[in-house]
Chain A
Amino acid sequence: MTIAGTKSGAGSVGPLRKSSGIKGRPGLVGWLMASPLVLVLVLFLVMPIIMIGTVSFWRATEFSIIPAFDFENYSFLFGSPVTYSVFLNTLKYALITWAVTLTLGYTVAYFLAFHVRSLTWQIVLFLLCTIPFWTSNIIRMISWIPFLGRNGIANSALLSWGVIDEPLDWLLFSDFSVILAFVHLYTLFMVVPIFNTMMRIDKSLIEAARDGGANGLQILWNVIIPLTKPGIMIGTIFVVTLVMGDFVTVRIMSGSQSANVGRLISNDIALLQYPSAAATAVVLLCSVLIVIGIFLRFVDIRKEL
């Protein structure tokens, strides 16, 4: 959109006064070029959100949904202690998953970008990272269950090595297993954008830093990390929004014992409580936007890209 704007702006400088019609109005070309995207976004993003917002004020009985303007859904939501504990739990999952995927993802990307010298190997190893994504994420998630179970591979291995005397129950159906699954599912979303920004770093900057006497850590901290901020931020947005919006991973990996916001919404939908689900969705949307807004205070993606 920015490109379209500049182009038409630049083009209009010269022949502006001579020509008439479409070319004569610089704004119009830009608008026309942007309009297909605007149309798609309005139809498939803005409209549904407005719809959800509207429905969140409606009332529902067991079977009928009554159009109304009523704050009942919100007052119930904000009046219930469950809401707070569930939102807190959701944030907790997001935060821990973010910290772990960032550490892992950054390390992997760093290795790929700076330690693997040949482009061929970089591509080969990068593709290797994506192989797990060839299967569905439900399957990747469920395959942890027999591995982590009380009589699972992990426990029987630990028992036979003599590390533990009795099976560890917290390996499965716990916060641990939920976060493990999240990390497994979403680390790649960190690797890709960070790797991408790392590849675009001018190697001469690193050489210059080394010539200037910086050691490896200083180069990482003062050169590479600042330059990869946009990648970190994009990865962060992916991971945080995916984790906060999830409902199925938490259900399966916690054995239905923990809840997050997504599960509240899916429970409501299952019981035909669309207005209350919509209200929860609106609150979730706002909180995700706030979280991302906070992140964006640290990095101006538009400037950095």
Chain B
Amino acid sequence: MTGTTQRLNRRSVLKGAAATATLAGASTLGAPMIWAQNIKNVTLRQFGTGVSNLNDVGNKVKEDLGFTLEMTALDSDSVTQRAATQPNSFDIADIEYWICKKVWPTGNLQAMDVSRIDLFDKIVPIFTTGKLTPESTVAQGTAPSTVGFVEGPDGTSFATEPTNWMTLIPTIYNADTLGIRPDLIGRPINNWSELLNPEFKGKASLLDISSIGIMDMAMVCESMGEITYGDKGNMTRSEIDQTLAIFTEAKKAGQFRAFWKSFDESVNLMASGEVVIQSMWSPAITAVRSKGIPCVYQPLEEGYRSWGGGIGLSKSLSGLELDAAYEYINWYLSGWVGGYLMRQGYYSAVPETSKGFMTPNEWGFWFEGKPATADILNPQGVVMETAGAVRDGGSFYDRMGAVACWNAVMDENQYMVRKWNEFIAA
């Protein structure tokens, strides 16, 4: 009997709480009245590349927002394929901006109402106006700002400047460069052209993902002074031919040890000493270093090849699920995820909110490029850097301010892919 009374009591309390929450929700979000009761039954299915599809994020969503976020991690080819062909298999797509350019015209994603995004004004301007500081210029390639907005809720063509309808909310981005083994090279490396330096014959590697690999190639060819591109992110056929001709020649001469397609392959190539210079991603550098092997994410004179991802909403989302998705986006920008990702060496869309979730030491090391004042730990609590270490490439503004080119999809993509296949088969 007492048990029943207690439960009744608790239930009435819960009801009261729900009602309050509903009121609060209705006033701030304009959410429907059913919100508080039903939100826990909502399940949002998110898929994307492994970088930001982290189970920790799903768990935290459950804790903070109450609904379930199912995560599926795929490689970028499969992500594109799924976003383009199976719109009903996901609610939230975590994709890169160049994928957005390919996928948006299929109409499988819906534009987001900027007025429902609380922190929109705080988003780093790279993603809105395209200019990190008022003086910067927009880099080549598929710069996020060029595919970040559409004209209206059903717009299929991208707007040239910020509108009220956003395609993707930026989640994670970084500036990529070459990774090197300083202990095996033993001299400074300052240019992209070093990748094809005969000194590293049989010890170089490149990634075998055509859309990104071609960019690294372009950075190298431009640095060698062999080719001047109109836009590295949108090459002409003859530029593609010339670029691949240079690399085919190098490949035949035995410059490359291997090409890699997955993150762990790049880690193994570097850690085993098979390769001393190669295109690499930031967490791969960390993974090599955590084995006690020196590895540097070398800043180069020509600048970085940058990439960025964001979350987009499936066309099929509506009603309560759509409200939950907006809730999720607002939560995403509110800092916890940002802090989590920045501790791994990525940047978040609204760095200032992330600051609250990082220690001053972490913030100084990762964002400001200051020497660490104490050990820097990774999210699992393992020491990554000791006191005194400085991030390769320096501060956020040093790194993101030196972006030469964004990952892109070209108009001549199909031609490029065929040429890429020839290169691999050569």
Please tell me which one of the listed residues B103, B417, B424 contacts residue A259 in the complex, with CB atoms under 8 A apart: B424
Stretch at the interface among B79-87, B357-365, B370-378: B79-87
Stretch at the interface among B117-125, B257-265, B348-356: B257-265
Q: Do the beta carbons of B258 and A272 come within 8 Å of each other?
A: no
Q: Do the beta carbons of B77 and A63 come within 8 Å of each other?
A: no
Q: Do the beta carbons of B251 and A257 come within 8 Å of each other?
A: yes
Query: Could you pull out 23 A-B pairs where Cβ atoms are within 8 angstroms?
Result: A62-B84, A62-B102, A62-B413, A63-B84, A63-B85, A63-B102, A63-B105, A80-B418, A89-B425, A146-B272, A151-B272, A152-B272, A169-B202, A172-B274, A255-B205, A255-B256, A255-B260, A256-B424, A257-B258, A267-B417, A270-B77, A272-B85, A273-B414
Please tell me which one of the listed residues B81, B208, B424 contacts residue A272 in the complex, with CB atoms under 8 A apart: B81
- A169 to chain B: which residues have CB within 8 Å? 202, 257
Closest A residue by C-beta to B106: A63
Q: Do the beta carbons of A255 and B257 come within 8 Å of each other?
A: yes
CA distance A257 to B261 in the complex (A): 11
Q: Is B249 an interface residue (CB 8 A)?
A: no
Q: Is A9 an interface residue (CB 8 A)?
A: no
Q: Which of B77, B424, B425 has the most CB of A within 10 A?
A: B425
User: Chain B: interface secondary structure?
Assistant: helix
- A30 to chain B: which residues have CB within 8 Å? none
Q: Is B32 an interface residue (CB 8 A)?
A: no
Interface size of B in residues (CB-CB distance below 8 Å): 34
Q: Among residues 246 to 286 in chain A, which have CB atoms less than 8 Å away from a CB atom of chain B?
A: 251, 254-259, 263-264, 267, 270-273
Q: Among residues 278 to 328 in chain B, which have CB atoms less than 8 Å away from a CB atom of chain A?
A: none
Q: With contacts A82-B422, A149-B272 known, is A256 near B261, CB below 8 A? A: yes
Q: Is A85 an interface residue (CB 8 A)?
A: yes
Total of A-B residue pairs, C-beta within 8 Å: 80
- B413 to chain A: which residues have CB within 8 Å? 62
Q: Do the beta carbons of A82 and B421 come within 8 Å of each other?
A: yes
- B395 to chain A: which residues have CB within 8 Å? none
Q: Is B273 an interface residue (CB 8 A)?
A: yes
CA distance A256 to B251 in the complex (A): 12
Please tell me which one of the listed residues B106, B258, B414 contacts residue A256 in the complex, with CB atoms under 8 A apart: B258
Q: Which 5 A-B residue pairings sit nearest by Cβ, starting from the closest?
A: A255-B258, A256-B259, A259-B425, A270-B77, A256-B208
Q: Do the beta carbons of B261 and A251 come within 8 Å of each other?
A: yes
Q: Is A150 an interface residue (CB 8 A)?
A: yes
Q: Is B268 an interface residue (CB 8 A)?
A: yes
Closest B residue by C-beta to A259: B425
- B202 to chain A: which residues have CB within 8 Å? 169
- B268 to chain A: which residues have CB within 8 Å? 145
Give the Cβ gap from B184 to chain A, nearest Cβ, in Å.
11
- A273 to chain B: which residues have CB within 8 Å? 414, 417
Q: Which of B84, B210, B251, B272 has the most CB of A within 10 A?
A: B272
CA distance A264 to B272 in the complex (A): 29
Chain A residues with CB under 8 Å of chain B are 62-64, 76, 80-82, 85-86, 89, 145-146, 149-152, 169, 172-173, 251, 254-259, 263-264, 267, 270-273
Q: Among residues 173 to 208 in chain B, which have CB atoms less than 8 Å away from a CB atom of chain A?
A: 202, 205, 208
CA distance A267 to B416 in the complex (A): 13
Q: Do the beta carbons of A62 and B414 come within 8 Å of each other?
A: yes
Q: Which of A89, A146, A264, A272 has the most CB of B within 10 A?
A: A272
Q: Which of A81, A146, A151, A257 has the most CB of B within 10 A?
A: A257
- A270 to chain B: which residues have CB within 8 Å? 77-78, 81
Other 8 A-B pairs with CB < 8 A, given A150-B272, A256-B261, A267-B421: A63-B102, A80-B422, A82-B425, A256-B260, A257-B256, A259-B425, A272-B80, A273-B414
- A146 to chain B: which residues have CB within 8 Å? 272
Q: Do the beta carbons of B261 and A271 come within 8 Å of each other?
A: no
Give the Cβ gap from B244 to chain A, nearest Cβ, in Å.
12
Q: Among residues 50 to 82 in chain B, which have CB atoms less than 8 Å away from a CB atom of chain A?
A: 77-78, 80-81
CA distance A145 to B267 in the complex (A): 13
CA distance A258 to B421 in the complex (A): 10
Closest A residue by C-beta to B261: A256
Q: Do the beta carbons of B257 and A173 come within 8 Å of each other?
A: yes
